[in-house]
Amino acid sequence: QVQLQESGPGLVKPSGTLSLTCAVSGGSISSSNWWSWVRQPPGKGLEWIGEIYHSGSTNYNPSLKSRVTISVDKSKNQFSLKLSSVTAADTAVYYCARKEGYCSGGSCGYYFDYWGQGTLVTVSS
């Protein structure tokens, strides 16, 4: 059973950099999966931030791309998120998640099957 666990500061100052790590257990980060970050502002919906493959390839949400860096540490079986120049609008619960591929009826797609419990990051002075 794959488990993901987010960790990092719960409070970040405006204009600072948000840094979180997601530790993966029960499976290898070098498997054929992409690893994602998703966030949820209080009382609002889900927003995909970006993803990384164990090779280091990344994809980012265009609306956040200029401020986001996702990296992987295969030796520690974990991946990380950095979000720079944060404002109050970046206050959210941040989740890490595994993206799994599937093939059904001749087409192949993706879904998020394993999620961390989430960690609240508040941007405030």
Interface residue list for another protein (CB under 8 A): 36, 45-48, 51, 59-63, 95, 97, 102, 104-105, 107, 109-113, 115-118
Smallest gap from residue 11 Cβ to another protein (A): 19
The structure tokens 């609002």 sit at 44
Q: What is the DSSP letter of 98?
A: E
Q: 50 or 90: whose CB is closer to another protein?
A: 50
Tell me the closest approach of the beta carbon of residue 15 to another protein, in angstroms: 25
Tell me how far, at minimum, the Cβ of 16 lies from another protein, in Å: 25
Which of 15, 102 has the CB closer to another protein?
Answer: 102
Residue type for 106, please?
G
Q: Which residues pair with 123 in a beta bridge?
A: 12
Measured at the alpha carbon of residue 57, what is the angle toward residues 18 and 36, in degrees to the nearest 5?
50
Closer CB to another protein, 28 or 117, in the complex: 117
- Least separation in angstroms between residue 79's CB and another protein is 17
Of residues 10 and 45, the one with the C-beta less far from another protein: 45
Rounded CA separation 120/90 (Å): 10
Integer-rounded Cα Rg, in Å, for the chain is 14
Q: What is the dihedral of CA 92, 113, 37, 77, to 10 degrees?
A: 130
